[in-house]
């Protein structure tokens, strides 16, 4: 373990951040830590946020293209639109965990920009499809490249930030999901005012122009991203040491490297972690709602305001997404402030539940449009909290990569369900889709309460375990492979 030089000092408790490690107390200069955090925030967060913004735009712009004539031009009928959405999620789910393991193996500084260029090109290619089958094929390939983005960025940020700092930093990039809904609507509206672009018209311009912007962002990211603190050219030697020491100080027990080698046992520890599994189901149910809003909010708005023009309907999708963006920053900020996530898992589903009750209880247009604000406020921040909760409830870097990948993979199963939640025969009020989403909100609430109670009970049980007896006779490698099964480990709530 590297010891921070000059910037890492044993100072008075009133002036320092105190960390318990291996039953000792380590302290860091709070001003040096603050300077380091600001520097990381400045160099890392804007790039990954911009990447994820266009990742989500390139995924969800098919909803905007639908309003601009996609279905008519490709002769779609019946469930064709839902099928094209579903094909994306098949590859997205299958490649989720392998992609995050590849991110660790190849290094996120190269892997994430490479994915960005690839899915940007997929968006450009979508502008040239002429059949439903070709659209589905391009969407399948898009799912392969986008699969690693959300878990990859979460894993990448966990290489830079303390556990208590992580949730809010995740929100700074995941807020791009609702902002993509808002910005995507504005961008699509602006693009549709053009007569043509390179011979392309209407919805084809949306895919082409947004894809070109995405490719440009990916090329810039090759220059701005760096794998880890030790390779950052913009950090001094002292800052690199401090960055590494901060992460080492949060190891549950001695012997763990900040960046360990790939290990099958630790991969399995990340996947089959009880908290990972519970959090994965929360993510699954959340994504039924979040992805449903991304794909079908333009359609829902059209049923509420059928008299408005296409551009006006596009603009009506912006305000709910702005509220979702606000919530995505506010809730994780409070989570980081109090270092609690499960408490907010319990609170925010009530907004989702209330919103869908309104949808089911009334056909009044303004009331239903208002309900979309409640749903966006309650659903969007949960994705941030689930990623953060998975990241902080494992020990090793390898287990963290597989844990985050598992949570996001399950979320994408929820996204697959979302593509079939609002079906043509169910319109214009969609009672089946709204009832399904009411049930997912209630399920999130129940799972969260159960996870909180179980983790508290298991921590109490671990307090009674004889650590020396459990570890007696185990080699250093075997002790390291215990990960969350190590008797010193405690679940973070």
In a domain, 5, yes or no: no
In a domain, 449, yes or no: yes
> CA angle, 260 as apex, 401 and 388 as ends, to 5°?
30
- Beta partners for 26? 19
In a domain, 2, yes or no: no
In a domain, 398, yes or no: yes
| Nearest partner of 467 among 489, 491, 434, judged by Cα | 489
Asked if the model's pLDDT at residue 116 lies above 90, the reply is yes
pLDDT digits (tens, 9 = 90+) for 94-111: 888 888 888 888 888 889
Domain count, the chain: 1
The stretches of 158-273 forming alpha helices (DSSP H) are: 163-174, 176-192, 203-224, 237-248, 264-271
In a domain, 25, yes or no: yes
| Nearest partner of 408 among 52, 113, 133, judged by Cα | 52
pLDDT digits (tens, 9 = 90+) for 406-446: 998 898 888 888 878 888 788 778 888 889 999 999 999 99
Helix (H, G, I), strand (E, B) or coil at 196: coil
Share of the chain above pLDDT 90, in %: 25
Calpha distance 388→342 (Å, rounded): 11
Helices (H) and strands (E) in the chain, counts: 23, 2
**The pair of three-digit structure tokens given for residue 330, joined into one six-digit string:** 């506010």
Report cis status (omega within 30 of 0) of the bond before 78: no
What is the chain's length?
A: 493
C-alpha torsion angle, residues 158, 164, 167, 169 (rounded to 10): -70
- Chain-centroid distance of CA 153 in Å reads 8
- Beta partners for 20? 25
Asked if the model's pLDDT at residue 18 lies above 50, the reply is no
**The pair of three-digit structure tokens given for residue 300, joined into one six-digit string:** 């829902």
* The most confident of 61-65, 196-200, 313-317, 388-392, by mean pLDDT: 388-392
pLDDT digits (tens, 9 = 90+) for 228-273: 888 888 888 888 888 888 877 766 554 455 566 767 888 888 899 9
Calpha distance 162→395 (Å, rounded): 12
Calpha distance 180→318 (Å, rounded): 9
**7: confidence class by pLDDT, cuts 50, 70, 90:** very low
Q: In the predicted model, what is the mean pLDDT of residues 36-48?
A: 90
> The domain that contains 272 carries what CATH number?
1.20.1250.20
At residue 258, the pLDDT reads 56
Calpha distance 138→130 (Å, rounded): 11
CB atoms within 10 A of CB 349: 26
Residue 157, sorted as left (phi over 0), alpha (psi -120 to 50) or beta, turns out to be alpha
Looking at per-residue confidence, does 257 or 282 come out higher?
Answer: 282
At residue 324, the pLDDT reads 87
In a domain, 324, yes or no: yes
Query: What residues make up the domain containing 153?
Result: 13-485
Asked if the model's pLDDT at residue 5 lies above 70, the reply is no
Give the phi and the psi of residue 24 in degrees, each rounded to 5. -115, 165
């Amino acid at each position: 373990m590297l010891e921070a030089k000059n910037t890492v000092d044993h100072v008075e408790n009133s002036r320092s951040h105190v960390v318990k490690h291996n039953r000792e107390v380590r302290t860091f200069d709070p001003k040096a830590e603050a300077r380091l955090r600001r520097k990381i925030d400045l160099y890392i967060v804007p790039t990954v946020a911009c990447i994820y913004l266009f990742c989500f735009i390139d995924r969800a712009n098919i909803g905007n293209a639908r309003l601009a004539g996609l279905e008519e031009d490709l002769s779609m009928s019946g469930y064709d639109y839902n099928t094209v959405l579903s094909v994306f999620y098949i590859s997205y789910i299958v490649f989720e965990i392998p992609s995050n393991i590849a991110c660790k193996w190849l290094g996120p500084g190269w892997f994430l920009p490479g994915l960005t260029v690839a899915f940007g090109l997929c968006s450009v290619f979508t502008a040239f499809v002429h059949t439903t089958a070709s659209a589905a094929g391009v969407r399948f390939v898009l799912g392969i490249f986008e699969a690693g983005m959300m878990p990859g960025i979460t894993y990448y940020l966990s290489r830079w930030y303390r556990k208590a700092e992580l949730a809010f930093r995740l929100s700074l990039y995941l807020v791009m999901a609702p902002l993509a809904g808002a910005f995507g609507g504005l961008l699509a509206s602006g693009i549709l005012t053009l007569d043509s672009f390179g011979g392309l018209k209407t919805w084809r311009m949306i895919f082409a122009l947004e894809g070109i912007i995405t490719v440009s962002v990916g090329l810039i990211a090759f220059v701005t991203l760096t794998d880890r603190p030790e390779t950052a050219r913009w950090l001094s030697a002292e800052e690199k040491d401090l960055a590494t020491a901060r992460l080492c100080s949060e190891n549950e027990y001695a012997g763990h490297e900040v960046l360990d080698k790939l290990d099958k046992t630790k991969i399995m520890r990340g996947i089959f972690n009880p908290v990972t599994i519970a959090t994965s189901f929360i993510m699954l149910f959340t994504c039924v709602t979040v992805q449903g809003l991304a794909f079908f909010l333009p359609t829902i708005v059209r049923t509420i305001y059928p008299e408005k023009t296409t551009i006006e309907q596009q603009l009506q999708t912006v305000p709910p997404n702005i509220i979702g963006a606000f919530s995505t920053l506010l809730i994780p900020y409070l989570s980081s402030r109090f270092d609690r996530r499960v408490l907010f898992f319990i609170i925010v589903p009530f907004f989702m539940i209330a919103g869908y009750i309104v949808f089911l209880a009334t056909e009044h247009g303004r009331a239903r449009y208002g309900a979309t604000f409640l749903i966006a406020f309650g659903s969007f921040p949960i994705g941030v909290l689930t990623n953060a909760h998975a990241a902080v409830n494992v020990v090793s870097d390898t287990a963290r990569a597989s844990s985050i990948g598992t949570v996001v993979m399950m979320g994408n199963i929820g996204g697959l369900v979302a593509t079939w939640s609002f079906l043509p025969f169910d319109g214009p009020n969609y009672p089946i889709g709204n009832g399904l989403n009411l049930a997912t909100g209630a399920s999130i609430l129940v799972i969260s309460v159960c996870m909180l109670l179980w983790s508290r009970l298991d921590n109490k049980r671990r307090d009674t375990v004889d650590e020396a007896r459990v570890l007696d006779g185990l080699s250093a490698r075997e002790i390291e492979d215990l990960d969350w099964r190590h008797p010193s480990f405690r679940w973070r709530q």
